[in-house]
Structure 1
């Protein structure tokens, strides 16, 4: 109890006593002393309680409680589990955990599944197309960073995506107890472990193909490898494997002799006694195009933004980026579909003049090396009333932007860009992609915007250090994909003058069988404003069996999207349509016959053993439940811990005081009424 609280209690008692004294002992009320004393006590209680509620002193309250460790039961929900015939073993083991009184008494059980992603779930269908063990463990480590939470990992250990969990587990904060699903005895097997090929190739050119082939077995064998296109053999090679030579790298080139999506098959002839022949064949596709988008970046300074822009743009193989200084021939810009002017100054004058003459699309990026006096005078689209004060500015996505569909990688959490402080004034219509914020306060100025006038498109980014955004995307997701996809959409919009359609569709010409299949679309009303209230549907047809279905598309930010993941391999035609509108778009795509979850014959015992060793856990098999149970119960670090929690409780939260006030006032009134004083 604090000094302030004690002072308030004393003050309450004194004030209450004064009120009672003047009301009952200084008044001329004719009542026996004994009755006056009773009345005074009741009135003292009432007044003191009311004053306490007014002063509302605070008291410290200590609560003791028992905290049990959490036992995270992480279940592999991928399709490799039933493929190895282990779905029954997994389900039985989970039921043993649920029915164990000892484990339930010792731990707070929490069930999660992992496959494509980590989910809080106690239902298992073993149907997911990817296994991301490292991502699941990383997410669990963040969630249970401050609490004891050992992990029971029920899996075959065959990861299909992500960083090697056997080594990253060195830094995992919790003990992991893998339960191995699947046979650990290696069987004789030939397989195509990896295939590397570019997604795009150019007509009449050759494109490289690289494959890694592996052999598990105890005998020397000979087999044949081919690459086919339909029934035509494009590449053929005899191979020899043995216990001392278990892998082979094949590198070759194929000719892109026809435009469009071309389907190929890599085939490794199976052995007579081979059990799994699914991993002996791998289909792949290449989209053959007849031209490439060429983009020029002009800059007179050296900056990490230039490298980040080049890497991001060229992540799409259909694009090529050149970086030049202002000393190049100005006419050279006419060889490019898009020109990026990085931090322009007076030496850019001829380029602005040529861009204005040719009505060429461009992207301007400003920063602390930008000459704003020059930029304000050389063009009339916008003007910045700037100061020499530098400012860190952050971005917030404008979800109402309508020129193309936008994804948000998480701009609010990205590092700030740097530019001079100042307001922007526009002389032509513009659309904002990213709003500018300073210390989480919107300035009313755009950070990234686009303009379109007389068929000429322009975008302006008001800040340097965009390389930090791309790096932050990698730190957050271990990939540059989200940033590159966002920036790629901007580049696509600027690099083409294609007339806007009221219904735009975005899809790939082919998808691997184990990847997400998403088709997105934008629908605009007759004023070319995005309509978020439309009912957009996709009519999907499998061309091999003519099986059709209609699926509604869901609204996401400023576009509609449908997830068709899980489609069986084959060719599909689709029609996108808007309800109550004579408006539709048609297209087609192919789903390749490849299931990465069916490429394994055994559990990955080595990685699971390393995971247990690095994290301080132990490895078990489904028939060792009793041993696992004993191990979990015997570890002192998993025992319940008594903790105390101190709370500061305001007196006004005590509801009993209100009851006390009512009782004391009622009793006083009743007694005074009974004695004829009222």
Structure 2
């Protein structure tokens, strides 16, 4: 409390006393009753003056904060397959019932498999394991507290970053509890199959198989690939104690279009424990055409390479670089022409494009000749300013031409574009708006339109390569950006009439991946309609069972997760409830459970995680040693914290009660004695 505040309190007391004496003592008879009134009036005025001064007091409270103990338990089906599920559940119960551990720590339970979940019940149904993701998310939750982790797992991760290295993000000790043992079993395994997703009709597609052997004897076995009941490839392979792996390369023919499913098999040997990993299914979609795209530019730019890599990530598409004077006689070979920053050297090319009514994708930037472009086309015109500006992208969620995914455009760097307004002479669909800083201009950055049965797209900015790089930084993969651009290329390379019901799905899905189907429904004005109810009817071609599910509305599309379906080939029909509109198709779910490919716990990697984090690893049967270690570890001590709160007097409710009491008592005494 400051000296000035103390002075104000003293003055308040003096003033309150003077007023009280003046009212009940000065020129009044001295009596016991007046002295009581003087005291009550003094307390009343002094309380009021104190509230006006409002001094502040420090309140210090002490609390003891126990450290957290994070229990991360593996909920994937590999634990069940390794027959460690009962032991893991018993360990969870033992931790819950350990009074010493619960007295020292705040115990928090999580399970992980596909995703991290804050719970302590285990079902062992997750078909994927991402240990790295679980550790990263827990590191964010407990980054500001003492929180050692007990990681209960077999250490077998099926996707995600290598947790041996990402575990360093958890800046606290990790104590892996290993589900399994170090016993080595004799095993043959098809470790990996590398095959292209697409192949072309009347061609041959390459297949690479990696087969591994774990054992000490010399053996010879058969590797076969079958299509239905027909063996299309076979080879004998020999292994020994020193020769433990073999890479097999071969090619298979494509005689008919469609999705073709194959089964690779390595013959089992005696005493082999895991026979599931001796088989692996794979599929190839055979197509009878390829989309050829011409990319025309008069100069070099990083965007050209980024566009080529992004477009050709789908093997159904091929990009050819050409100069403006090289395209004229080759246009018949291409379904789409990308014009990068056109200038007057494109004059003859534009005339040929108009004559052949070719679809185009025009990308402009700082080196675009807008005077030429304004004169050569009649669909749009750009204001000539000779100035440039950097524009950020803003997604138009009402874009209805095809289904869009938000790539977190807000995190993308700006594109460099010519400053000025663009006017359009034809209806356009805006896919991305321009933003300057945080201000949305509602001017188009990326748009599509159709004119004279020709589809066109216009991107008003260069440095698209930075978007692809940022997408990789955001997701650790180029896939999202490549899929986004792929949808635009697919739309531009086709002249099919726009449908009111669009359905997006894959021809086949691997057994452990998500089976997601997206759909969009448009009204008669081709505006996205969120009021419609879409349903899908599925028929299992093997069992003839029929299933029906509703779609769920998500942003500007309908979505359905069918990951729970069993492996089979399915025919489906998507219908709009209120309109006689439907779309049909076929997809396959391949039989493959990656969680059943493991024989042992990954002891080596879990030991390394413990070493890197200054923890210690334990086998599942040694919980007592882990408990003792945690209780005796001086790094995990309770912390006493002092909390200092500054409390103003006006918040002290008892002063108000005192003020009311004094006023009420004075009034009652005066009334009782006939002074009122």
1:164 equivalent in structure 2: 162
In the TM superposition, residue 539 of structure 1 has moved relative to its aligned partner by 1.4
2:88 equivalent in structure 1: 90
In the TM superposition, residue 299 of structure 1 has moved relative to its aligned partner by 2.5
SS in 2 for 1:637: coil
SS in 1 for 2:283: strand
Matches within 5 A, 1:22-61: 25=22, 34-35=35-36, 37-52=38-53
CA 1:523–1:655 in 2, change beyond 3 Å: closer, same or farther? farther
CA 1:371–1:92 in 2, change beyond 3 Å: closer, same or farther? same
Of residues 91, 103, 106 in structure 2, which corresponds to 1:105? 103
1:451 equivalent in structure 2: 449
Supply the distance in 2 between the matched residues of 1:423 and 1:647 (Cα, whole angstroms). Answer: 57
CA 1:318–1:29 in 2, change beyond 3 Å: closer, same or farther? farther
In the TM superposition, residue 561 of structure 1 has moved relative to its aligned partner by 0.8
Supply the distance in 1 between the matched residues of 2:452 and 2:293 (Cα, whole angstroms). Answer: 22
Supply the distance in 1 between the matched residues of 2:452 and 2:28 (Cα, whole angstroms). Answer: 100
SS in 2 for 1:135: helix
1:284 equivalent in structure 2: 282
Deviations 1:409-451 (A, max 9, x none): 2112233333344444333222222232222222222332222
**More deviation in 535-544 or 206-215?**
535-544
2:220 equivalent in structure 1: 222
In the TM superposition, residue 389 of structure 1 has moved relative to its aligned partner by 5.2
Query: Are the equivalent residues in 2 in contact too, given 1:118–1:136 (CA < 8 A)?
Result: yes
Deviations 1:266-285 (A, max 9, x none): 11111122121111111111
1:540 equivalent in structure 2: 538
1:128 is the counterpart of 2:129: no
Deviations 1:207-232 (A, max 9, x none): 11001100001111110111111222
CA 1:210–1:524 in 2, change beyond 3 Å: closer, same or farther? same
Matches within 5 A, 1:464-479: 464-479=462-477
CA 1:334–1:34 in 2, change beyond 3 Å: closer, same or farther? farther
CA 1:7–1:566 in 2, change beyond 3 Å: closer, same or farther? same
**More deviation in 239-248 or 34-43?**
34-43
Unaligned runs of 5+ in 1: none
CA 1:99–1:23 in 2, change beyond 3 Å: closer, same or farther? same
In the TM superposition, residue 641 of structure 1 has moved relative to its aligned partner by 1.7
1:189 is the counterpart of 2:187: yes
CA 1:286–1:654 in 2, change beyond 3 Å: closer, same or farther? farther
Q: CA RMSD in A?
A: 2.7
Unaligned runs of 5+ in 2: none
Supply the distance in 2 between the matched residues of 1:241 and 1:476 (Cα, whole angstroms). Answer: 43
Supply the distance in 2 between the matched residues of 1:657 and 1:428 (Cα, whole angstroms). Answer: 75
Query: Are the equivalent residues in 1 in contact too, given 2:44–2:659 (CA < 8 A)?
Result: no
In the TM superposition, residue 16 of structure 1 has moved relative to its aligned partner by 8.5
**More deviation in 193-202 or 381-390?**
381-390
Supply the distance in 2 between the matched residues of 1:380 and 1:642 (Cα, whole angstroms). Answer: 76
Query: Are the equivalent residues in 2 in contact too, given 1:50–1:661 (CA < 8 A)?
Result: no
In the TM superposition, residue 161 of structure 1 has moved relative to its aligned partner by 1.0
Query: Are the equivalent residues in 1 in contact too, given 2:20–2:39 (CA < 8 A)?
Result: no
2:514 equivalent in structure 1: 516
SS in 2 for 1:94: helix
CA 1:551–1:329 in 2, change beyond 3 Å: closer, same or farther? closer
Question: Number of matched residues?
Answer: 672
In the TM superposition, residue 255 of structure 1 has moved relative to its aligned partner by 1.1
SS in 2 for 1:589: strand
CA 1:478–1:665 in 2, change beyond 3 Å: closer, same or farther? farther
CA 1:137–1:25 in 2, change beyond 3 Å: closer, same or farther? same
2:393 equivalent in structure 1: 395
Of residues 237, 240, 255 in structure 2, which corresponds to 1:239? 237
Supply the distance in 1 between the matched residues of 2:61 and 2:49 (Cα, whole angstroms). Answer: 28
In the TM superposition, residue 601 of structure 1 has moved relative to its aligned partner by 1.4
1:642 is the counterpart of 2:640: yes
Query: Are the equivalent residues in 2 in contact too, given 1:363–1:458 (CA < 8 A)?
Result: yes
Supply the distance in 2 between the matched residues of 1:20 and 1:362 (Cα, whole angstroms). Answer: 92
Deviations 1:468-514 (A, max 9, x none): 22222222222122222222212212221211111111111111111
In the TM superposition, residue 382 of structure 1 has moved relative to its aligned partner by 3.3
Supply the distance in 2 between the matched residues of 1:421 and 1:104 (Cα, whole angstroms). Answer: 65
CA 1:241–1:352 in 2, change beyond 3 Å: closer, same or farther? same
CA 1:526–1:98 in 2, change beyond 3 Å: closer, same or farther? same
Supply the distance in 2 between the matched residues of 1:560 and 1:9 (Cα, whole angstroms). Answer: 69
CA 1:187–1:302 in 2, change beyond 3 Å: closer, same or farther? same
Query: Are the equivalent residues in 1 in contact too, given 2:92–2:120 (CA < 8 A)?
Result: no
SS in 2 for 1:636: coil
Query: Are the equivalent residues in 2 in contact too, given 1:43–1:668 (CA < 8 A)?
Result: no
> TM-score scaled to structure 1, two decimals?
0.92
Query: Are the equivalent residues in 2 in contact too, given 1:16–1:47 (CA < 8 A)?
Result: no
Of residues 599, 614, 639 in structure 2, which corresponds to 1:601? 599
1:354 equivalent in structure 2: 352
In the TM superposition, residue 11 of structure 1 has moved relative to its aligned partner by 5.4
1:258 is the counterpart of 2:248: no
Of residues 566, 576, 579 in structure 1, which corresponds to 2:577? 579
SS in 1 for 2:631: helix
In the TM superposition, residue 633 of structure 1 has moved relative to its aligned partner by 1.5
**More deviation in 238-247 or 569-578?**
569-578
1:310 equivalent in structure 2: 308
